[in-house]
Amino acid sequence: MDFKVALAEAEREYAERHPGSRAAMTRMAAWMPGGDTRSTTWFRPYPLVMDRAERVEMTDVDGNVVLDFLGNYTALVHGHRPPFILAAIEDALRRDFLFGTPMPEQGELARRIVERLDSAERVRFTNSGTEAGMLAARVARRFTGRTRLALAEHSYHGSYDQLVWDAAERTGATTFPANDVGGAERALDAAGPLAAVFLEPVLGSGGIITVENDFLRFLREYTRRTGALLIFDEVMTFRLGHGGRQQATGVAPDLTMLGKIIGGGMPVGAVAGRADVLAVTDPSAPGSMEHSGTFNGHRLTMVAGAAGLDALDRAAIERLNRLGDRLRDGLLKVADGAKVPVSVTSCGSLVNLHAAADVTTPAQAEGAAHSGLARYLHLALINRGVLMAHRGEMCISTAMTEDTVDRAVAAAADALAEAARLEGLE
Ligand SMILES: Cc1ncc(COP(=O)(O)O)c(C=O)c1O
């Protein structure tokens, strides 16, 4: 069923509430393709255009307020304008922030990452998670002397072609199914010598699908045996534990891609991992691999990231994950009583409301994310003051309370009841 009636009604209400967003997008399309500069922020009929935000609330150019369960795709782990991050940035602004030389703050953020992440001995910064993937791939190729990369199906490592799993036919990468040891082993064996195997320990954009520990252990053993590097992409999952998601799995990768929360809201990426592997980038070593970036290690990013990580201690992470469980349980209860097929997956503070029943695999999540019901839910929740990703992904910030979570659950219950009514399912 395509939920055409409900979707049309949600679109009508959305258009009525957001004329300023439409005007801004139309205006910007004169200078930017489609008026946007980021594929993930665009949706039909046109995206929300935001003006300002404070803690858990964002206000768009029409003056509508939404609770922010998008968190800039999980990056804003402390919500908006956290005072400790603003103070760190203001302090850096007084001393200037870019010199074309190293600065002590780079070491301070690197130290925090090494102290938290058991598998990390050294860190190298980039400006985005995408660039972290590019760097990790280059390091792995240089270290192993091999070229071929392997990627999990439905993984997301940013917008670098060589790490886009469904571009593999073009790029020569190998793809393998997560959570399927037999299938993955066949795919990896068929690929020949690999430089690296990339994996998100929880598939994020793939629908918040947790990768099982047995599968991670298989990959660890396989890569060790065959001489490939194992690279965990913890750009999204680092928030799940003090030592990232990997701490709970007991599996240590050779390299870890980081981004999002380690920048405190500023643009960031990093590769952390074994000292002997990252040594290929050591500029003091003869013949080392060139890795530069005009803005790598920007002071505003370094100080915002350090302040953000300091505030994200074990107690804060536990609280985030508890609120995530509350959101999951609330949505599950709503899903249970709904006449509309929805389901929920989660891992700690990352939650996905799927527009289909019984979603347990990334392929099912992908199908659900492009349905009429998914589009309806996304717009209907915005109309009710809750912003999530259009594929139904939601995340918790430390600025949220139980009340914030309960308001999102109530909005979802109302949106589902309205869909059932409009589609005559009652
Ligand atoms: C798991 C994962 N890896 C990599 C990236 C890419 O990071 P960035 O958007 O900073 O390039 C993302 C971004 O959503 C991500 O979720």
* Segment 24-74, tens digit of pLDDT: 999 999 999 999 999 999 999 999 999 999 999 999 999 999 999 999 999
**For residue 147, how far is the Cα from the chain centroid?**
26
Q: Are both 39 and 125 inside the same structural domain?
A: no
pLDDT of residue 144: 98
Q: Are both 69 and 120 inside the same structural domain?
A: no
Q: Are both 34 and 172 inside the same structural domain?
A: no
Range of the domain at 51: 4-77+314-422
Spacing, Cα 156 to ligand 1 middle (Å): 7
With bands split at pLDDT 50, 70 and 90, how would you rate the model's confidence at 412?
very high
With bands split at pLDDT 50, 70 and 90, how would you rate the model's confidence at 390?
very high
Spacing, Cα 203 to ligand 1 middle (Å): 12
Which residue, among 100, 102, 105, has the nearest Cα to 307 in the 3D structure? 105
Count of domains observed in the chain: 2
Q: Are both 185 and 51 inside the same structural domain?
A: no
Domain boundary among 311, 330, 352: 311
**What are the pLDDT digits (tens) for 162-198?**
999 999 999 999 999 999 999 999 999 999 899 999 9
SS3 content of the chain, % helix, strand, coil (to 5): 50, 15, 35
Provide the mean pLDDT of the chain. 98
Q: What is the CATH number for 53?
A: 3.90.1150.10
Q: Are both 278 and 340 inside the same structural domain?
A: no
With bands split at pLDDT 50, 70 and 90, how would you rate the model's confidence at 300?
very high
Q: Are both 150 and 118 inside the same structural domain?
A: yes
Q: Are both 140 and 282 inside the same structural domain?
A: yes
pLDDT of residue 147: 97
Q: Are both 219 and 258 inside the same structural domain?
A: yes
Q: Which residues does the annotation mark as catalytic? A: 156, 233, 260
Q: Are both 282 and 181 inside the same structural domain?
A: yes
Q: Are both 131 and 197 inside the same structural domain?
A: yes
pLDDT of residue 426: 78
Domain boundary among 259, 291, 311: 311
Spacing, Cα 120 to ligand 1 middle (Å): 19
CA dist list (Å): 358 to 203, 215, 414: 17, 22, 21
Q: Are both 117 and 64 inside the same structural domain?
A: no
Strands 255-259 and 269-273 come out as antiparallel
Which residue, among 108, 109, 51, 106, has the nearest Cα to 80 in the 3D structure? 51
Residue whose Cα lies nearest atom 3 of ligand 1: it is: 157
pLDDT of residue 1: 81
Q: What is the CATH number for 151?
A: 3.40.640.10
Using a 6 Å cutoff on CB, does residue 305 contact ligand 1? no
Q: Are both 9 and 150 inside the same structural domain?
A: no
Domain boundary among 254, 281, 311: 311
Q: Within 13 Å of residue 101, how many CA atoms lie on the same side as its CB?
A: 4
